[in-house]
């Protein structure tokens, strides 16, 4: 191996690592605030990428109908309850966000020539479709069992993961998709050729991580989420609604997932079931951070990305084995170094 | 309840009586649902196009779906043999299911024609596999086409990259055996997963050994990723793929990076562009036209052709067997087996079948052609 190969591998590893880092941050965030292990994070990646691909193929993305269906269910539950409690304005707001918004999106999809819109508008529409599924999912599947033990929440996640993979097959078909790159530009750094898409991935990841930091440090909602993560009961006593915290968390996680999907769709072929493996690597990174520390999780993600790209050069047949075996020494080290903490029931 | 049981029994008897006449009964097990459905559905569509009379006898096809499940395939095979008293079994779609059915057909001494690809279904020949035949080409035939093409073009050093599963391993084994014989050197041997999002590392490794050509053994659209990575990193040499990528989704995903890709396919896929002198052209075209008339233009696939060829073999063998015995008897099944083993130069859609006691596939180099991807579509190499 010479320097130029090492540089290319390093670049490849850092690009993938940036995506894993985003997913790892989302996983840590969701677990800290809601104690949910967010297995279906990967499906949001695939849904984001494939929704964009469907739009570019000139068809109405089938995910918009899922959004409508989930919106109807949320409306039935929430607006019904609000009406019975006599809170008409609240009922109208629920119906507006969960019924009128998805239907309006569907109408836009059906009427506009989405395939010929500029790429950034398509990306925006993709996020507009996929991201609201996060909070809807929290409302429908997790909120009713929000205080259940972690194991129950994990079982719900597994069920949702399987359901979303199945729906993905129905929506997008078994074949993979690729989308055109955000920019065809490429830069030469010494011997290294850096493609425009790689720069996009790195810049957007860095911006997003910066924005999340600002959000948690500077805004009331961010602080509310942090408070919930530190002490759920305490935060509730201070007037922070756990339901709102949950929905907000899922909104962020879905946003990160869908955006990651949109970012990597030009680099690799995405299938309806690709997301799981990507999220699993994000999960390895999140475990390195103990499902608690954001900076360690992000560093872990870079480590996973680099390990992956270098092992694919040296021992390609054992690449996945090497990446996933990483979790064993990490768990050993963590279990030896940290005192056992009883889970609060 | 009792009345219902009696009725059911009566209906069952009526059917059994109907089947017990001198018609030839063909039991078909295929995977019309489940993961192998994309193979099983064209096979099922093809069964309805098969001849309804052979040698003056009516032929009944009894089709059961195994849902791509090995256990169900075995259960279906047993049911067809015990209850429907079939004279011959066609199936199943997948190799594991076909392998599992061998025990059943050997035990009941019923000939079976498999539509699955694995060479292990009919080799090494033994007492059980005497009863088993198959129609799809072995990977070996496909691999030999690639090796021949490499030899003809002076390629001496080949870098190999395959799926990290049975498909990639199987191809590596077949390809290595042939290449070693012919003096082609395999200078790199890499693996990747169908779900991988990046194969840059492997691509660099392949390029670092400076091969004359790269051979990618993958199936479907995932096989496009190494090719795209190689081209992206500036690899200019020839790239070979297997017949596993011969569908239009691969072209769509791979785009301009796939220009010039070389691969072997069965003649069915290229039936229309084969030269008139090609021995398989007429028989392949006959199937293609019949299938597309029933299922729409462009719908034909090589998988349906495997079912069609099972019908072609029966059409050739059954008249011989009919001279010796009556359908529905053990003697007829044995005679049919012998007749299948004796077919010579029978032209199917996949190739020309000449069976022998040792070779229950019977295909030769006429069962595949080399093609190239040119201007975003498949074109035949001379």
- Nearest CA to A327 among A289, A299, A275, A292? A289
| pLDDT category of residue A86 using cuts at 50, 70 and 90 | confident
CB hemisphere CA count around B62 (13 angstroms): 21
Residue B285 covered by a domain: no
CA distance A335 to A333: 6
Across the interface, of B190, B204, B222, the residue whose CB is closest to A269 is: B222
Residue B206 covered by a domain: yes
What is the rounded average pLDDT of the residues B238-262? Answer: 87
Structure tokens at A258: 């869908």
pLDDT over 60 at A333, yes or no: yes
Structure tokens at B148: 């021949």
Residue B382 covered by a domain: no
Which chain A residues touch B249 with a CB distance below 8 Å? Answer: 175-176
CA distance B118 to B76: 21
Quote the DSSP letter at residue B55. Answer: T
- Nearest CA to B54 among B336, B279, B353, B297? B336
B102 in helix, strand or coil? helix
Residue B371 covered by a domain: no
Q: Contact at 8 Å (CB) between B61 and B91?
A: no
% of chain B surpassing 90 pLDDT: 54
Residue A56 in contact with partner chain B when CB distance is under 8 A: no
Q: Do the Cβ atoms of A320 and B193 come within 8 Å?
A: yes
Residues B17 and B129 in one domain: yes
What is the rounded average pLDDT of the residues B54-80? Answer: 92
Residue B331 has a pLDDT of: 92
| pLDDT category of residue B19 using cuts at 50, 70 and 90 | very low
Element housing B307 (H / E)? helix B302-324
The pairing of beta strand B185-192 with beta strand B157-163: parallel
| pLDDT category of residue A232 using cuts at 50, 70 and 90 | confident
Residue B2 has a pLDDT of: 55
- Nearest CA to A45 among A263, A251, A208? A263
Residue A8 in contact with partner chain B when CB distance is under 8 A: yes
Q: Where are the alpha helices (DSSP H) in B48-190?
A: 70-82, 95-108, 139-152, 166-182
Which chain B residues touch A312 with a CB distance below 8 Å? Answer: 192, 196, 198-202
Q: Where are the alpha helices (DSSP H) in B21-85?
A: 37-47, 70-82
| Residue-wise pLDDT tens digits, B168-182 | 888 898 899 999 999
Residue B370 covered by a domain: no
CB neighbours (10 Å) of residue A124? 13
CB neighbours (10 Å) of residue B231? 18
Residue B21 has a pLDDT of: 54
CA distance B121 to B380: 30
Residue B20 has a pLDDT of: 45
Residue B118 has a pLDDT of: 83
Residue A1 has a pLDDT of: 66
Residue B315 covered by a domain: yes
CA distance A17 to A266: 16
* Backbone dihedral region for residue A69 (phi beyond 0: left; psi -120 to 50: alpha; all else: beta): alpha
Residue B18 has a pLDDT of: 45
| pLDDT category of residue A319 using cuts at 50, 70 and 90 | confident
Structure tokens at B161: 């990259």
Residues B115 and B188 in one domain: no
CA distance A208 to A294: 13
Q: Do the Cβ atoms of A316 and B192 come within 8 Å?
A: yes
Across the interface, of B190, B195, B208, the residue whose CB is closest to A316 is: B190
Q: Do the Cβ atoms of B221 and A269 come within 8 Å?
A: yes
Residues B217 and B126 in one domain: no
Residue B6 has a pLDDT of: 56
Which chain B residues touch A49 with a CB distance below 8 Å? Answer: none
* Residue B59 bridge partners (DSSP): B24
Residues B116 and B182 in one domain: no
pLDDT over 90 at B94, yes or no: no
Residue A182 has a pLDDT of: 83
Residue B111 covered by a domain: yes
Residue B46 covered by a domain: yes
Residue B46 has a pLDDT of: 94
Q: Parse chain A into domains and list their residue ranges.
A: 3-337
What is the rounded average pLDDT of the residues B182-191? Answer: 92
Its pTM stands at 0.77
What is the rounded average pLDDT of the residues B183-210? Answer: 89
What is the rounded average pLDDT of the residues A294-318? Answer: 91
Residue A43 in contact with partner chain B when CB distance is under 8 A: no
Q: How far is A8 from chain B (nearest CA, A)?
A: 8
- Nearest CA to B35 among B188, B170, B189, B220? B220
CA distance A290 to A309: 23
Which chain B residues touch A12 with a CB distance below 8 Å? Answer: 198, 200-201
What is the rounded average pLDDT of the residues B320-342? Answer: 92
Residue A80 has a pLDDT of: 86
pLDDT over 70 at B245, yes or no: yes
CA distance A338 to A302: 23
CA distance A3 to A192: 10
CA distance A224 to B370: 65
Structure tokens at A31: 């677990």
Structure tokens at B149: 């093409």
Name the one residue in this structure whose structure tokens are 């998709």. Answer: A177
| Residue-wise pLDDT tens digits, B99-122 | 999 999 999 999 999 998 888 889
Q: Contact at 8 Å (CB) between A251 and A134?
A: yes
Greater model confidence, B299 or B340: B340
**Residue B62's CATH number:** 3.40.50.2300
Residues B94 and B117 in one domain: yes
Residues B21 and B104 in one domain: yes
- Nearest CA to B139 among B363, B339, B341, B377? B363
A 246-285 near B (Cβ less than 8 A): 264, 267-269, 271, 273-274, 277-278
- Summary mean pLDDT of chain A: 89
Residue B89 has a pLDDT of: 94
Which chain B residues touch A1 with a CB distance below 8 Å? Answer: 208
Q: Contact at 8 Å (CB) between B62 and B8?
A: no
Residue B377 has a pLDDT of: 86
Q: Which domain holds residue B155?
A: 140-265
Q: How far is A345 from chain B (nearest CA, A)?
A: 38
| pLDDT category of residue A335 using cuts at 50, 70 and 90 | confident
What is the rounded average pLDDT of the residues A135-145? Answer: 93
pLDDT over 60 at A110, yes or no: yes
Q: Do the Cβ atoms of B249 and A175 come within 8 Å?
A: yes
Residue B5 has a pLDDT of: 59
What is the rounded average pLDDT of the residues B18-47? Answer: 82
Residue B198 has a pLDDT of: 85
What's the start-to-end Cα distance of chain B, in Å? 69
Which chain A residues touch B198 with a CB distance below 8 Å? Answer: 12, 15-16, 267-268, 308-309, 312
Q: What's chain A's Rg over C-alpha atoms?
A: 21
**How many structural domains is chain B composed of?**
2
Which chain B residues touch A316 with a CB distance below 8 Å? Answer: 161, 164, 190-192, 201-202, 205
Residues B158 and B131 in one domain: no
**DSSP annotation string for B228-283:** HHHHHTT--S-EEE-GGG-SHHHHHHHGGGGTT-EEEE-GGGGGGGS-TT-TTHHH
Spell out which chain B residues touch chain A, with contact meaning CB-CB distance below 8 angstroms: 38, 161, 164, 190-193, 195-202, 204-205, 208, 220-222, 224-225, 232-233, 249, 253
HEC string for chain A: CCHHHHHHHHHHHHHHHHHHHHHHHHHHHHHHHHCCCCCCHHHHHHHHHHHHHHHHCCCCCCHHHHHHHHHHHHHHHHHHHHHHCCCHHHHHHHHHHHHHHHHHHHHHHHHCCHHHCCHHHHHHHHHHHHCCHHHHHHHHHHHHHCCCCHHHHHHHHHHHHHHHHHHHHHHHCCCCECCCCCCCCEEEECCEEEEHHHHHHHHHHHHHHHHHHHHHHHCHHHHHHHHHHHCHHHHHHCCCCHHHHHHHHHHHHHHHHHHHHHHHCCCCCECCCHHHHHHHHHHHHHHHCCCCCHHHHHHHHHHHHHHHHHHHHHCHHHHHHHHHHCHHHHHHHHHHHCCCCCCCC
Read off φ and ψ for residue A205, nearest 5 degrees. -60, -45
The C-alpha torsion from A230 through A231 and A236 to A241, rounded to 10°, is 40
Contacts of A45 (CB under 8 A, 6+ apart): A23, A257, A258, A260, A261, A264, A270, A274, A275, A278, A279
Residues B118 and B148 in one domain: no
CB neighbours (10 Å) of residue A331? 13
User: Judging by beta carbons within 10 Å of its beta carbon (0-12, 13-18, 19+), is residue A219 exposed, middle or buried?
Assistant: exposed
């Amino acid at each position: 191996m010479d320097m130029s190969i090492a540089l290319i591998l390093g670049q490849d590893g850092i690009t993938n690592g940036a995506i894993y880092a985003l997913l790892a941050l989302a996983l840590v965030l969701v677990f800290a605030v809601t104690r949910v292990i967010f297995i279906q994070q990967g499906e949001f990646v695939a849904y984001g990428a494939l929704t964009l691909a469907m739009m570019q193929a000139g068809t109405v993305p089938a995910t918009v109908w899922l959004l409508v269906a989930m919106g109807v269910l949320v409306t039935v539950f929430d607006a019904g309850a609000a009406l019975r409690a006599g809170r008409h304005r609240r009922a109208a707001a629920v119906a507006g966000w969960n019924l009128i918004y998805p239907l309006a999106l569907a109408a836009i999809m059906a009427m506009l020539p989405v395939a010929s819109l500029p790429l950034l508008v398509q990306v925006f529409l993709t996020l507009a479709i996929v991201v609201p599924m996060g909070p809807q999912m929290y409302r429908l599947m997790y909120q009713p069992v929000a205080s259940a033990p972690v194991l129950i929440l994990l079982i719900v996640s597994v069920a949702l993961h399987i359901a979303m993979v199945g729906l993905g097959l129905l929506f997008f078909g078994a074949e993979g998709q690729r989308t055109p790159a955000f920019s065809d530009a490429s830069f030469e750094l010494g011997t290294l050729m850096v493609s425009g898409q790689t720069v996009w991935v790195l810049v957007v990841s860095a911006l997003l991580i910066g924005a999340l930091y600002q959000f948690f440090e500077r805004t009331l909602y961010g602080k509310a989420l942090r408070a919930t993560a530190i002490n759920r009961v305490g935060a509730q006593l201070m007037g922070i609604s756990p339901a709102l915290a949950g929905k907000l968390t899922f909104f962020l996680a879905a946003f990160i997932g869908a955006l990651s999907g949109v970012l990597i769709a030009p680099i690799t072929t995405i299938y309806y079931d690709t997301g799981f493996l990507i999220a699993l690597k994000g999960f390895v990174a999140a475990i390195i951070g103990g499902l608690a520390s954001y900076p360690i999780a992000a560093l872990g993600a870079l480590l996973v990305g680099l390990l992956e790209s270098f092992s694919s050069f040296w021992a390609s047949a054992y690449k996945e084995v090497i990446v996933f075996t990483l979790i064993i020494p990490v768990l050993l080290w963590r279990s030896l170094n940290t005192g056992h903490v009883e889970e609060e029931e | 309840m009792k009345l219902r049981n009696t009725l059911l029994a009566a209906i069952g008897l009526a059917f059994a009586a109907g089947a017990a006449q001198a018609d030839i009964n063909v039991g078909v097990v295929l995977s019309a649902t489940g993961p192998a459905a994309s193979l099983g559905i064209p096979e099922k569509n093809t069964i309805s196009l098969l001849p309804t009379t052979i040698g003056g006898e009516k032929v009944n096809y009894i089709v059961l779906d195994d849902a791509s499940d090995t256990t169900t395939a075995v259960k279906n095979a047993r049911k067809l043999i015990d209850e429907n008293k079939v004279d011959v079994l066609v199936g199943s779609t997948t190799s594991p299911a076909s392998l599992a059915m061998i025990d059943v057909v050997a035990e009941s001494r019923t000939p079976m024609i498999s539509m699955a690809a694995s060479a292990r279904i009919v080799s090494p020949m033994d007492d059980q596999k005497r009863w088993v035949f198959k129609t799809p080409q072995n990977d070996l035939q496909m691999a030999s086409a690639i090796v021949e093409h490499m030899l003809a073009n002076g390629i001496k050093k080949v870098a190999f990259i395959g799926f990290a599963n049975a498909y990639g391993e199987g191809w590596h084994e077949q390809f290595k055996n042939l290449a070693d014989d012919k003096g082609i050197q395999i200078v790199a041997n890499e693996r990747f997963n169908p779900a991988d999002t990046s194969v840059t590392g492997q691509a660099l490794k392949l390029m670092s050994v400076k091969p004359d050509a790269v051979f990618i053994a993958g199936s479907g659209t995932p096989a496009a990723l190494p090719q795209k990575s190689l081209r992206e990193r500036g690899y200019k040499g020839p790239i070979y793929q297997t017949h596993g990528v011969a569908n239009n989704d691969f072209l769509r995903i791979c785009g301009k990076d796939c220009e010039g890709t070389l691969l072997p396919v069965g003649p069915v896929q290229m039936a229309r562009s084969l030269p008139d002198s090609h021995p398989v052209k007429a028989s392949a075209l006959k199937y293609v036209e019949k299938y597309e008339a029933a299922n729409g233009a462009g719908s034909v696939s090589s998988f349906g052709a495997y079912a069609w060829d099972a019908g072609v073999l029966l059409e050739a063998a059954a008249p011989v067997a009919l001279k010796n015995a009556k359908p529905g008897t053990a003697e007829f099944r044995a005679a049919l087996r012998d007749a299948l083993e004796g077919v010579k130069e029978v032209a199917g859609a996949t190739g020309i079948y000449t069976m022998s006691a040792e070779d229950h596939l019977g295909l030769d180099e006429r069962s595949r052609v080399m093609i190239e991807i040119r201007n975003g579509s498949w074109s035949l190499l001379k």
